[in-house]
Amino acid sequence: MRIVQISDTHLSPREPRFDANWQAALAFLKELQPDLVIHTGDLALDGADEARGEAELAHGAAAMAGLGDNALILPGNHDVGHFPGMAQPVNAERLERWTRLVGPDRFCVDRGGWRLVGLNALLFGQAALGGEEAACAAEAAQWLFLEAALDGRDGRPVAIFSHKPVFVERIDEGETGYWGLRPAERARFMALCEAHDVRLHASGHLHSPWIGQHAGLAITWAPSTAFVLGEGERLGASGRSLGLVLHELTPDGTVDSRLLAVPGLEEYDFSRIGAEIYPADVGGVDAGPLGEADRPKENAA
Ligand SMILES: [Fe+2]
Ligand SMILES: [Fe+2]
């Protein structure tokens, strides 16, 4: 089974440059003819904005219609918001807007001898950080959803797709704020993965591709199709390119993941265009619940 993972398209009616990149990716996808396409979030440039989120998410969803019914789309922080205390926290309104305009924020499907599970990464940590009631309820429901998906895998190997990476530099790292799972949720998540034959975790968010593994778990960070981050704008060391990922999953549980360059993608650098695409009223004013001065800006990925 060939799955193409795309991520961080950051589409917007006010950003024709990322639309053009998406059209190049779409043409490439049509040639590749994968069995399934999975988008790991940040579909929209600013779908979490109160005023323009509706138009941004609708624009992103319309662009994905070019994939037909062969695509599963997960939300990123720029689609449904992020931690409480940040400028755009996950709340009932943002979750409803995603569901109405794009679709479910999680999935569990069986394909090619595998169980494929998609999660809304932005729910993890809501309860611990005092998130809004709807966000906490959605997080609790998603833990149950994940546990049921893993319990019901019926011998199939499992691949999990989600916007944020499990870790950024090390599995035992502390809080990375904006970037990876928080330590408490990471420990709970990894215990489930280890108990249930999870073979692959594939995420986006970092705009910086990497293919590696941890204790037998294959790990992929997909590149964006829109922009790369400049030096010092993210944590950890990984690649710096646009593109997509081809995952070949065989029924015996083998994972072969490769980064693919997409002909015609124009590489934009956040350090050059960040202020333009995320004006000061959108983000960059709040480093999140930790408030560390040395953390990258909220709007970076
Ligand atoms: Fe993101
Ligand atoms: Fe992103």
Q: Quick one: pLDDT band at residue 279, thresholds 50, 70, 90?
A: confident
pLDDT at 297 over 50: no
If you measure from the C-alpha of residue 153 to the centroid of ligand 2, how many angstroms do you get, rounded to a whole number? 30
Q: How far is residue 269 from each of residues 73, 161, 301, measured CA to CA in Å?
A: 25, 25, 12
Kindly state whether residue 292 falls inside one of the protein's structural domains: no
Q: Quick one: pLDDT band at residue 298, thresholds 50, 70, 90?
A: low
Instruction: Tell me what the mean pLDDT of segment 122-146 comes to.
Output: 98
Kindly state whether residue 293 falls inside one of the protein's structural domains: no
pLDDT at 238 over 60: yes
Kindly state whether residue 41 falls inside one of the protein's structural domains: yes
* Close Cβ partners of 275 (under 8 Å, ≥ 6 residues apart): none
Q: How many domains does the chain have?
A: 1
Instruction: Tell me what the mean pLDDT of segment 202-226 comes to.
Output: 95
Provide the strand spans (E) within the chain: 2-6, 36-39, 71-73, 107-111, 114-118, 158-161, 198-203, 210-214, 217-221, 227-228, 244-249, 255-260, 268-269
Q: Give the ligand whose atoms come closest to the C-alpha of residue 44.
A: 2
What is the model's pLDDT at position 229?
86
* CATH number, domain with residue 90: 3.60.21.10
Do you know the residue count of the chain?
Answer: 301
Q: Give the ligand whose atoms come closest to the C-alpha of residue 226.
A: 2
If you measure from the C-alpha of residue 233 to the centroid of ligand 1, how many angstroms do you get, rounded to a whole number? 13
Q: Give the ligand whose atoms come closest to the C-alpha of residue 223.
A: 2
Instruction: Tell me what the mean pLDDT of segment 200-223 comes to.
Output: 95
How does the average pLDDT of the chain come out, rounded? 91
Segment (H or E) for 137 = helix 133-151
What is the model's pLDDT at position 263?
96
Rounded to whole angstroms, how far apart are CA atoms 290 and 213?
A: 28
Q: Give the ligand whose atoms come closest to the C-alpha of residue 228.
A: 2
If you measure from the C-alpha of residue 202 to the centroid of ligand 1, how many angstroms do you get, rounded to a whole number? 14
Kindly state whether residue 243 falls inside one of the protein's structural domains: yes
If you measure from the C-alpha of residue 8 to the centroid of ligand 1, how many angstroms do you get, rounded to a whole number? 7
Best mean pLDDT range from 79-83, 174-178, 232-236: 79-83
Higher pLDDT, 147 or 284: 147
If you measure from the C-alpha of residue 45 to the centroid of ligand 1, how many angstroms do you get, rounded to a whole number? 10
Ligand 1 (ion): residues with CB under 5 Å are: 42, 76-77, 205, 301
Kindly state whether residue 248 falls inside one of the protein's structural domains: yes
Token output for 140 = 């609790």
If you measure from the C-alpha of residue 2 to the centroid of ligand 1, how many angstroms do you get, rounded to a whole number? 25
Q: Give the ligand whose atoms come closest to the C-alpha of residue 45.
A: 2
If you measure from the C-alpha of residue 74 to the centroid of ligand 2, how many angstroms do you get, rounded to a whole number? 12
Kindly state whether residue 295 falls inside one of the protein's structural domains: no
Contact 92, 126 (CB under 8 A): no
Kindly state whether residue 297 falls inside one of the protein's structural domains: no
If you measure from the C-alpha of residue 78 to the centroid of ligand 1, how many angstroms do you get, rounded to a whole number? 6
What is the model's pLDDT at position 68?
87
CA dihedral (93, 94, 95, 98) positive or negative: positive
What range defines the domain where residue 58 resides?
2-277
What is the model's pLDDT at position 286?
34
Kindly state whether residue 285 falls inside one of the protein's structural domains: no
pLDDT at 212 over 70: yes
Q: How far is residue 284 from each of residues 87, 156, 196, 233, 298, measured CA to CA in Å?
A: 9, 43, 39, 12, 5
pLDDT at 119 over 80: yes
pLDDT at 294 over 90: no
Q: Give the ligand whose atoms come closest to the C-alpha of residue 224.
A: 2
Q: Quick one: pLDDT band at residue 296, thresholds 50, 70, 90?
A: very low
Helix, strand and coil percent figures for the chain, each rounded to 5: 30, 20, 50
Which among 291, 283, 301 has a CA at the least distance from the CA of 89?
283
Instruction: Tell me what the mean pLDDT of segment 6-19 comes to.
Output: 97
Q: Going by DSSP bridges, is the β-strand pair 210-214/217-221 parallel, antiparallel, or unpaired?
A: antiparallel
Contact 84, 135 (CB under 8 A): yes
What is the model's pLDDT at position 280?
56
If you measure from the C-alpha of residue 274 to the centroid of ligand 2, how many angstroms do you get, rounded to a whole number? 12
- For residue 221, list its beta bridge partners: 203, 210
Which among 13, 82, 85 has a CA at the least distance from the CA of 48?
82
If you measure from the C-alpha of residue 26 to the centroid of ligand 1, how many angstroms do you get, rounded to a whole number? 21
